[in-house]
Structure 1
Amino acid sequence: MKLKIYRLPILAVALLATIFSCSEDYLEVDPSGQFLSGNYYANETEAFAGLVAEYDFMRKNSGGFENMVTMMNAGSDDHYAGGGNSTDGAGIQSFSNYTLNAIEMPSSFWSDYYKGIFRANMMILKLPDVPMDETLKARYMAESKALRAYYHFNLVRLFKNIPLFTAPVDPAETYNVVQSTPEEVYAQIEIDLLDAIAGLPTTLNSDELGRFTKGAAQAVLGKVYLEQGKKAEAAAQFAAVNGTPGATSPYGYKLLANFNDLWQIDNKFNTESILEVTHTNLSLAGWGNAYNDDAEGNMICTMVGPRGFVDLDVNDNVPAYSSGWSFNPIIPELYDLLKNDPRFEATVLDLKALSEQGKIQYSPGYQDTGYFLNKFAPTVAEEHTGAGDMWLNHRQNSYVIRLADTYLLEAEALNGTGTRAQALLDAVRARVGLPSIPVSMDNILAERRLELAGEGHRWFDLRRNGKLQAKLASRGFVSGKHEIFPIPYKELENTKLVQNPNY
Structure 2
Amino acid sequence: MNALTTQLRIALLSACLCTACGDFLDEVPKSTVTSENYYKTREDAIAATDAIYDYLISGYAPGGLWDENFGGLFFNDFWELPELMSDNMTSKQSSVDFVSTSNFQIDAFNSRIRILWRDFYQTINACNTVIQKVPDIPMDEVLKNQLVAEARFFRALCYFELTRFFGDVPLHTAPVENVSAANIERTPTDQIYPVVLEDLAFAEANLTYADRLGFGRPYARSASALLARVYLTLGVKQSNTTYLTQAVEKADLVIPEFPLFSGPTGYADIFKLSNRFKGEHIWEVNFNATLSQGWKGNQFLVRLLPQMDTGKGGPANGQGYDAATAALYSAFDPMDARRDVTLFKSFTYSDNTTENFSDPYFCKYWDRVAEPNGNESDATYPYLRTAEMYLIKAEALNELNNGPNGEAKAALNAIRHRAGLGDTPAGNYADFKKAVLAERRLEFAGEGHRWHDLVRMCTLEELSTLVKAAKPNAQPKAANLLFPIPQRERDITNGKLTQNEGY
TM-score range, shorter chain: 0.7 to 0.9
Q: 2:382 aligns with which of 378, 399, 405?
A: 399
The answer on whether the counterparts of 2:335 and 2:421 sit within 8 Å (CA) in structure 1 is no
In 2, the alpha carbon distance for the partners of 1:134 and 1:11 equals 37
Shift of 1:465: 0.6
Q: Aligned with 1:326: secondary structure? A: coil
| Cα offsets for 1:400-448 (capped at 9, x unmatched) | 0110112101211112511111111111122233211245111111111
Shift of 1:479: 3.1
The residue identity in structure 1 corresponding to 2:365 is F
Shift of 1:8: 8.6
The answer on whether the counterparts of 1:13 and 1:36 sit within 8 Å (CA) in structure 2 is no
Partner of 2:464: 469
Partner of 1:443: 435
Do the aligned partners of residues 458 and 207 (structure 1) sit closer, same or farther apart at CA in structure 2, a change above 3 Å counting? closer
Partner of 2:83: 73
Shift of 1:152: 0.9
Instruction: Specify which structure has the higher proportion of helix.
Output: 2
Q: 1:282 aligns with which of 280, 290, 294?
A: 290
Shift of 1:70: 2.0
Q: 2:449 aligns with which of 438, 454, 457?
A: 457
Do the aligned partners of residues 383 and 354 (structure 1) sit closer, same or farther apart at CA in structure 2, a change above 3 Å counting? closer
What is the percentage of aligned positions where both structures have the same residue?
Answer: 29
Partner of 1:209: 215
| Cα offsets for 1:6-60 (capped at 9, x unmatched) | 4799898978xxxxxxxxxxxxxxxxx9843222221111111111111233337
Alignment size in residue pairs: 447
The answer on whether the counterparts of 1:241 and 1:251 sit within 8 Å (CA) in structure 2 is no
Given the alignment of the two structures, is residue 226 of structure 1 paired with residue 236 of structure 2, yes or no? no
Do the aligned partners of residues 298 and 12 (structure 1) sit closer, same or farther apart at CA in structure 2, a change above 3 Å counting? same
The residue identity in structure 2 corresponding to 1:371 is P
The answer on whether the counterparts of 1:6 and 1:171 sit within 8 Å (CA) in structure 2 is no
The residue identity in structure 2 corresponding to 1:454 is G
Shift of 1:113: 0.8
In 2, the alpha carbon distance for the partners of 1:57 and 1:398 equals 15
Shift of 1:178: 0.7
The answer on whether the counterparts of 1:218 and 1:238 sit within 8 Å (CA) in structure 2 is no
Q: 1:158 aligns with which of 147, 165, 182?
A: 165
Report 1:4-403 matches (<5 A). Answer: 5-6=20-21, 35-59=33-57, 63-64=74-75, 66-83=76-93, 87-88=94-95, 90-106=96-112, 107-174=114-181, 176-201=183-208, 204-205=210-211, 208-228=214-234, 229=236, 230=240, 232-243=242-253, 249-257=255-263, 258-282=266-290, 295-309=295-309, 320-338=314-332, 339-351=334-346, 359-361=353-355, 369-377=358-366, 379=368, 382=371, 391=375, 393-403=376-386
Partner of 1:491: 489
In 2, the alpha carbon distance for the partners of 1:425 and 1:123 equals 39
Q: Which has the higher contact order (CA 8 A, sep 6+)?
A: 1
In 2, the alpha carbon distance for the partners of 1:148 and 1:323 equals 34
| Cα offsets for 1:353-412 (capped at 9, x unmatched) | 869x982348x7xxxx4311110247596278xxxxx84x31111100110112101211
In structure 1, runs of 5+ residues without a counterpart are: 16-32, 286-293, 313-318, 385-389
Shift of 1:175: 6.0
User: What is the TM-score with the length of structure 2 in the denominator?
Assistant: 0.80
In 2, the alpha carbon distance for the partners of 1:78 and 1:299 equals 18
Shift of 1:330: 1.5
Q: Aligned with 1:161: secondary structure? A: coil
Q: 1:428 aligns with which of 393, 396, 415?
A: 415
The residue identity in structure 2 corresponding to 1:446 is A
The residue identity in structure 1 corresponding to 2:447 is E
In 1, the alpha carbon distance for the partners of 2:314 and 2:241 equals 45
The residue identity in structure 1 corresponding to 2:343 is V
Shift of 1:276: 0.4
The answer on whether the counterparts of 1:175 and 1:494 sit within 8 Å (CA) in structure 2 is no
Q: Aligned with 1:211: secondary structure? A: coil
In 1, the alpha carbon distance for the partners of 2:396 and 2:73 equals 27
Shift of 1:128: 1.6
Partner of 2:502: 502
Partner of 1:290: none
In 1, the alpha carbon distance for the partners of 2:276 and 2:110 equals 35
| Cα offsets for 1:220-243 (capped at 9, x unmatched) | 122122222245424434433445
Shift of 1:469: 2.5
Do the aligned partners of residues 12 and 242 (structure 1) sit closer, same or farther apart at CA in structure 2, a change above 3 Å counting? farther
In 2, the alpha carbon distance for the partners of 1:114 and 1:62 equals 9
In 2, the alpha carbon distance for the partners of 1:297 and 1:127 equals 30
| Cα offsets for 1:76-127 (capped at 9, x unmatched) | 10111123xxx23x32211101111111242111011101111111111111
